[in-house]
Amino acid sequence: MDVEKEQENIKKEVMSRVSLAKNTLPTIFSQTKTYFEQTLDLLASNYGNSQIKEFQKGLVTFLDAAQKQMTAGIDCFLNSNFDELKITKSPRAKKTYRLVKSGCRDYVALHRPPNKDYVFSFVFHRLSVSLYFPPLLQLRYHDMLALFAGWRASDEGERKGIPFMTTVHPWQVIAYAVTRPGNLRIFLTALNLPKPPTLPTLQFIVVAEDYLQEWPGRLGKKVAQYFIQQNELRLGYLTWFLGDGVQYTEQFKIAIGDKQVALPPQLSREVIDEAYRVGFGQLLDLLNFSKWEILKNFTVYRGPVHAHIYSKKFNLFFIRRQLDLRATARFRTKEDAEAFQRLLKEKGIDSHVTPHWKTRKGKRYIDAYCVNLERNSVLKLAEQNPEWRQGLIKLANKHDLRNLQPRTPTLQRLLELVENPPLQPLMQT
């Protein structure tokens, strides 16, 4: 493919994703603000600290202003012809390009990792706010140092000696603020534009302005990793896993460079115990995110996977041959099964009833009736209910779904719910 044709295809793909992003932007911001509001309310209530409410108010006000500026930037970009869009080299990164339009200060960054498709992100100009996050944990110095080391071993960077965290996860914004409290500068730098049906994500950078990076320089990440391993720092392994932990496996794994390193199984239990000992585990419970729950469930699970709705236990299944997802519950009579089916229908959950056959002494007979949920109903329940998301986590661990190919839409959505649960009110069942 010649360069001109490739550039035209890139422009078409980018414009398609930017258009989708504009349509989903209100939902993304609404869910993000709801998560911050509800989670910070919990922290303020549990820790009796009114300064958290001030942090919450400042952050939500910032998100409202950022949404307006992002919308204006996207509109400027969309109101253009292909001839007005130009692909230029990024002045900072050798392997990154920019799709720019004259008159728009925001642009789309284009990056192509080796042997992979292009990665697109809409980059925004000077969206930031300065806020103060109060200390909540009474930690000893070496415990704090261990938590710092874990962040540095994974996601944390440094600029001019000041540490910062880049993340697309709202829970990580709060977790990082808890471990590095004080004056923070929070940037909203980009809207990542993944391939549909995956939704765009907001990219945050949190700068801890009151700190100097303990492990500076290009080798700082490796030095922090070595520091954790040599001193067997359980809290260091915790934040290392929260940053670069490998999910969907049945082992406690972290990423070191391009490799996935399995850690001793008993270490995950020791990490959790240490987190609760210093009070960080109790705080992480309030943040309600899957990675912490995955860590707490790092036991090799081979048994049946269950989840309840309206006090009825459903068995969850992943059918590997068909790469499909189902759930079923048994009832003694057809009338009971159909009554429960109607109850689900009232809540917008589709299901169907089938007889359950058994054979005895050569004769087949019906011993129960099953209410069956197909993939869309299971995924819908997992979007709304934390117990069903835990069921998906167990299925992902049980079948090692992260490494399963091909990545069908059902499998893709299942893994998205495991890693990035929706930031919305939960369905009460």
Residue 358 confidence (pLDDT):
81
Confidence of residue 239 (pLDDT cuts 50, 70, 90): very high
Residues pairing with 89 in the sheet: 97
Confidence of residue 302 (pLDDT cuts 50, 70, 90): low
CA angle 308, 314, 319 (to 5 degrees): 130
Instruction: Verify cis geometry, omega within 30 degrees of 0, for the bond prior to 197.
Output: yes
Half-sphere exposure of 266 (CA within 13 A, CB side): 1
Between residues 273 and 145, the one the model is more confident about: 145
CA angle 341, 342, 347 (to 5 degrees): 100
Mean pLDDT of 80-88: 81
Q: In this model, does residue 80 exceed pLDDT 90?
A: no
Segment 173-214, tens digit of pLDDT: 999 999 999 999 999 999 999 988 888 999 999 999 999 999
Residue 301 confidence (pLDDT):
47
Mean pLDDT of 89-109: 83
Mean pLDDT of 160-166: 96
pTM score above 0.75: no
Residue 199 DSSP label: P
Segment 5-33, tens digit of pLDDT: 888 888 888 889 999 999 999 999 999 99
**Residue extents of the structural domains in the chain:** 3-138+160-208, 305-419
State the Cα–Cα distance between residues 55 and 184, nearest whole angstrom.
10
Q: In this model, does residue 426 exceed pLDDT 50?
A: no
Question: Which residue carries 């008159």 as its tokens?
Answer: 103
